[in-house]
Structure 1
Amino acid sequence: MTAPTTPTAPTAPTVSPGSYYQRIDEHRYKPTAHAGGAWNLDEQHFSPLAGLIVHAIDRHRAARPDDGLVLARISYDILGRIALDECEITVQTVRPGRTVELVEAVVVIGGRPVVRARAWLLETLDTSAVADTPVAELPAPESLDPWPMGELWGGGYIASIDVRRHRERPGRSTAWLSTPHELVAGEPAGPHAAFIALVDTANGIAVQQPPTEWMFPNVDLTIHLHRRPEGRWTGLDTTVSFGPTGHGVTSTVLHDTAGPVGRAEQILTVRPLGAM
């Protein structure tokens, strides 16, 4: 979720009943109303944009023969306000390699960079004989009650998702998220892009304080994966910690319905509502 600014009249994004973005050309995308932010209606929620960046990276690498490299880590730095407007995403390979590769993506809106992301891709090997994790699986999505997240958060993105949540206490929740919408209209999204397009929601499912009184937007998102996620559900086992000097951390173990797949971390700027 991007940092709130002084509210202005929302723009009029292209309305599509079935996608978060529509392609304009090779590098430019137009957000639909479903990408609308939770802090401000005239901003994009970062969650679908994070998935779109992975989609752009997938397209950048698709021009080459399959090299067996898969996404293992992606880190996003949010550089400023992400307006609900046309965005351009450029991708370059920073460090090519046969077994390890680093790529960088930059999102520009209105001539200004607003997100910079770097992704490490690693070679795949058969390590099934030693595959293991001490992290327990989450209860199945069907076992959790639907949560009307829109009662706490506004915006088109929040209204677009199906959320099943179990809340233990302030700052501690588990949830499953899915969406009926395409990431980009008419374009199949890969498993990483579709999964990651829901991950940034973690900062809104286990709130420490009500967003009507406190602001706690994240300025980054880092995701580590130990296996490829599959299926339509993104599972979030989330803990939110607020410190005493205006900083916070949202920490999440990521799951699909087969079990844990990795972790996500977000650093927060915490302050009373109206202080930014």
Structure 2
Amino acid sequence: MHYFERLTESTFLATSYTGGAWNTEEQHVAPALGLLAHVVETDRDARRGDGLSIGRISYDILGTLPIGEVETSVRVLRAGRTIELVEATLSHGGRAAVVARAWLMQAYDTEPIGGTSFPGIAAPDAMPAWDATTVWPGGFIASAEIRRDQVEPGRASFWVRTPVALVGGEKIGPVARTAGLLDIANGMTTRISPVDVAFPNLDLTLHLFAEPQGEWVGFDTTVSFGASGVGLTHSVVSDEKGPIGTSSQILTVRPTGSRGAAPRL
């Protein structure tokens, strides 16, 4: 049970668990984002031993990915002793599909002044289970366990975890594990049924001020649609100890009238 199987140092094979929600024959981008975070951390650990933390990782989604073999590459854009900017690319057949840029930062002891004013959300066991397959198809959505407190369409708090490993047989860091679930946020509290309106995201940016802990990832999410086809899904991200960062996704909002074919970027 894993989303990807490593084939070589830089290539991976996606499994059926990555099946998408807009098109079940293509990958849901969520596991792919986790894979790129894992690639960044693996490259970091091969180059240096100080374990710089990922403070921000931003993804640009350039196109769709079939459920098949994908290639990865990593390069350091800004080298440094205490700060690095690293870029990782996920491709298929020589075509880049997702590009990630991550700021890696040295850790310091700031526990005495730590804190946040972001509000917390109820614990996972205080929220009812919710079956997202009643709204969305695909292997990835089916693989996720979700607990949700829906306030109104486009506004909810929820927790997500999965028993499926990101990469078979490999140790996955907490940031990569969390990154592999973040993209689910855009479908967990829809403003309008995806049968009537397509709203795929073109990007995702995660800012972290604390390293995730535990298997649950919590979201306090608001979905907004503008008047000219642009939307935003914004989440405060938490672990079971409280808020740890934020995640934002820009949306292309396209009335469809029927589900029809998957939206193309």
TM exceeds 0.5?
yes
Q: In structure 2, what residue type is equivalent to 1:262?
A: G
Quick check: 1:252 aligned with 2:242? Answer: no
Q: What SS does structure 2 have at the residue aligned with 1:197?
A: helix
On the 8 A contact 1:182/1:188 being kept in 2, the answer is: no
The Cα offsets for residues 17-68 of structure 1, whole Å up to 9 and x where unpaired, read as x100111100000011100100001111111110000111111111133224
Quick check: 1:36 aligned with 2:19? Answer: yes
State the identity %. Answer: 46
1-structure distance, mates of 2:97, 2:194:
23
Quick check: 1:149 aligned with 2:132? Answer: yes
Deviation at 1:178, TM superposition (A): 0.4
Aligned residues: 259
Quick check: 1:170 aligned with 2:153? Answer: yes
On the 8 A contact 1:177/1:198 being kept in 2, the answer is: yes
Deviation at 1:96, TM superposition (A): 0.9
Please name the residue that 2:247 is paired with.
264
Please name the residue that 2:167 is paired with.
184
**From 226, 229, 246, the counterpart of 2:212:** 229
**From 66, 91, 116, the counterpart of 1:133:** 116
Quick check: 1:240 aligned with 2:240? Answer: no
Q: What SS does structure 2 have at the residue aligned with 1:231?
A: coil
After superposition, residues 4-23 of structure 1 pair within 5 angstroms as 18-23=1-6
Q: In structure 1, what residue type is equivalent to 2:63?
A: G
2-structure distance, mates of 1:143, 1:200:
23
Deviation at 1:92, TM superposition (A): 1.0
1-structure distance, mates of 2:186, 2:119:
21
Quick check: 1:121 aligned with 2:104? Answer: yes
RMSD of Structure 2 on Structure 1 (CA) = 1.1
Deviation at 1:84, TM superposition (A): 1.6
Q: In structure 1, what residue type is equivalent to 2:229?
A: G
Q: TM-score, normalization: structure 1?
A: 0.92
On the 8 A contact 2:18/2:140 being kept in 1, the answer is: yes
Deviation at 1:137, TM superposition (A): 1.7
On the 8 A contact 2:44/2:51 being kept in 1, the answer is: no
2-structure distance, mates of 1:135, 1:218:
24
**From 36, 40, 61, the counterpart of 1:78:** 61
Q: TM-score, normalization: structure 2?
A: 0.96
Deviation at 1:123, TM superposition (A): 1.1
Quick check: 1:49 aligned with 2:39? Answer: no
Quick check: 1:111 aligned with 2:97? Answer: no
Quick check: 1:193 aligned with 2:176? Answer: yes
Q: What SS does structure 2 have at the residue aligned with 1:248?
A: strand
Q: In structure 2, what residue type is equivalent to 1:152?
A: V
Q: In structure 2, what residue type is equivalent to 1:240?
A: V
Structure 2, unaligned runs of 5 or more: none
2-structure distance, mates of 1:102, 1:65:
14
Q: What SS does structure 1 have at the residue aligned with 2:232?
A: strand
